[in-house]
Amino acid sequence: MQKPVKLSREDLLSKITGEAFITCENIFGYSGVIADSSPRFSVLSVKLLLRQIGYSHIDLSPAYDDDVKAAVRQIQKNNGLEADGLVGPRTKLALIKEKNDPSTPFLTSGN
């Protein structure tokens, strides 16, 4: 296992010279946009996470239903994203951020 490295914001910004690619564990098990036609396990992963962050009314069926879409839209609005109800790459990061797990890194728009 690699030893974690801490960088200050200034140190990190000085090393970025162009595009930056951020990698993280895909906790949803699916690399595409999660929506109505997504694999069951991906929809269930989204639903489980939604329940963990306070959306207790979300049922655990494999259907990407109106309750899921509404919860996802709310999270998207809260994070300044287009509120389309679909779980794309930025929404996945927003969902992870909403979990508020201190062991999970996330990006902020702070100065």
* pLDDT range class, residue 15, cuts 50, 70, 90: confident
Report if pTM > 0.85.
no
Distance separating alpha carbons of residues 89 and 94, to the nearest angstrom: 9
**For range 51-76, the mean pLDDT:** 96
Question: What is the SS3 assignment for 24-92?
Answer: CCCCCCCCCCECCCCCHHHHHHHHHHHHHCCCCCCCCCCCCCHHHHHHHHHHHHHCCCCCCCCECHHHH
* pLDDT range class, residue 71, cuts 50, 70, 90: very high
The tens digit of pLDDT for each residue in 88-104 reads 989 998 998 888 766 66
* pLDDT for the residue 85: 96
Tokens 């000085």 appear where? 14
The tens digit of pLDDT for each residue in 19-40 reads 665 556 667 777 789 999 999 9
**Total Cβ atoms within 10 A of residue 64:** 23
